[in-house]
Amino acid sequence: MTRLTGGLLRPDLEQVAAWIGRDSRVLDLGCGDGALLDWLARERHCSGYGVEIDDAQVLACTSRGVDVIQQNIEQGLDMFGANQFQFVVLSMAIMATQHTERVVREMGRIGQEAIISFPNFGHWRHLLSLALGRMPMSRALPFEWYNTPNLHLATILDFENFLRGLGMTIVDAAFLDERGRRVSILPGKRASTAIYRFRPSPIDQNIAA
């Protein structure tokens, strides 16, 4: 993968940025410190908002000049209209959502396209840990079983079936190893992170409109 930002962004966010064109309207859910939106505004002249619940991260966003709304993403998306954004991003946060289907449906409603990244639970190291009787830990899953914020973990196949079950069309996908390098062979076992770009099917878009 070509490094767009010279290491200024996490590898999964670099892939997200590569998919977002100039002058796009972007909503970044669980935007953290606003690094992605800040880069997109400076380098791609994009506009939009971040949604973040954590006080310290909201302050970090404002210090960067990123427009941020302090809100729980599972409660605060009704304020946005249908197709208000060209891209809606949820990076490395879907695992912590309680009402995952509703969040993803809302992403499809308010964005022309949506992008989600998540840790691949089917990575071979995770499978080896389970075979040895231990819950997996890795760079993508750095928590112990008893203090993890993650509620739902998925493999690549799980996630693809999930999207199709919601009537989403997968536009593109990228898979990264633990060093942030692209994986093309056996991604289900070798990729530690998966990033998907998708949109609602035409029928669902007509219903939303």
How large is the average pLDDT for residues 183-204?
90
Tokens of 162: 């999930």
What is the per-residue pLDDT across 21-48, written as a single tens digit (0 to 9) for each? Answer: 999 999 999 999 999 999 999 999 999 9
Cβ count within 10 A of residue 64: 17
Q: Tokens 């219903």 label which residue?
A: 207
Give the pLDDT confidence score for residue 6 in this predicted structure: 58
Among the listed residues 200, 196, 174, 202, the one whose alpha carbon sits nearest the alpha carbon of residue 187: 174
**Token pair listed for 8:** 């200024």
Please write the tens of the pLDDT for every residue from 127-172.
Answer: 888 888 888 778 778 788 787 777 888 999 999 999 999 999 999 9
92 contacts 116 by C-beta, under 8 angstroms: no
Model-level pTM greater than 0.85?
Answer: yes
The CATH class of the 12-208 domain is alpha beta
Which phi and psi angles does 26 have, rounded to 5°? Answer: -125, 135
Statement: residue 204 has pLDDT above 50: yes
Asked if residue 123 lies in contact with residue 189, where contact means CB atoms within 8 angstroms, the answer is yes
The domain ranges of the chain are 12-208
pLDDT value at 201 more than 90: no
pLDDT at 3: 57
- pLDDT > 80? residue 91: yes
pLDDT at 190: 95
Quote the CA–CA distance of 43 and 168 in Å, as a whole number.
29
pLDDT at residue 139, rounded to an integer:
75
> Which pLDDT does position 142 carry in this prediction?
79
